[in-house]
Amino acid sequence: MTGNIYDYDSAVARYLEAWNAGEPQALAKAVAAAWTADGSYTDPLADVRGHEQIAAVIAGAHQQFPGFSFRLCGAVDGHHDTARFGWELVNDVDGSAPVAGFDVITLDGEGRIRQVLGFLDRVPAQA
């Protein structure tokens, strides 16, 4: 990376690319690009570490919500090695967004994610 060692927007873009990567090989590559090797992901439903476990959580979300995409919701607010942002899980056909959440990430010096602390703001009534 050049310039700002903490490029929050790029880190979040790689993070959402990983969440939207469907095919297993593409998913593995996107996860490795977004997270450090021992990076972690914790939300109300998961608490995992390392690329393999993170990819498995993402693949599970795709199974649960086929035809949906993760999208950034609002701006990324970063300082030091950390940033916060909201996201929505959007139905690719009708644009509805039954799930919304909020994540705080911490980055290493190369902009890869060391830690995700995730929370849910909106979940389906019947989930």
* Footprint on this chain of a second copy (rule: CB under 8 A): 42-44, 47, 77, 79-82, 84, 102, 104, 106, 117, 119
Task: State the nearest-atom distance from the C-beta of 76 to a second copy, in Å.
Answer: 11
Question: Of the two residues 55 and 116, which places its CB atom closer to a second copy in the complex?
Answer: 116
CA 9/CA 25 separation, integer angstroms: 24
Burial 53-84 (b: 16+ CB within 10 A, else e): bbbebbeebbeebeebbbeebeebebeebbbb
Cβ(87)–Cβ(73) below 8 Å: yes
CA 99/CA 127 separation, integer angstroms: 10
CA 27/CA 19 separation, integer angstroms: 8
Task: State the nearest-atom distance from the C-beta of 7 to a second copy, in Å.
Answer: 17
Question: Of the two residues 79 and 125, which places its CB atom closer to a second copy in the complex?
Answer: 79
Question: Of the two residues 58 and 106, which places its CB atom closer to a second copy in the complex?
Answer: 106
Question: Of the two residues 1 and 45, which places its CB atom closer to a second copy in the complex?
Answer: 45
Task: State the nearest-atom distance from the C-beta of 102 to a second copy, in Å.
Answer: 8
Task: State the nearest-atom distance from the C-beta of 106 to a second copy, in Å.
Answer: 7
Element housing 71 (H / E): strand 68-79
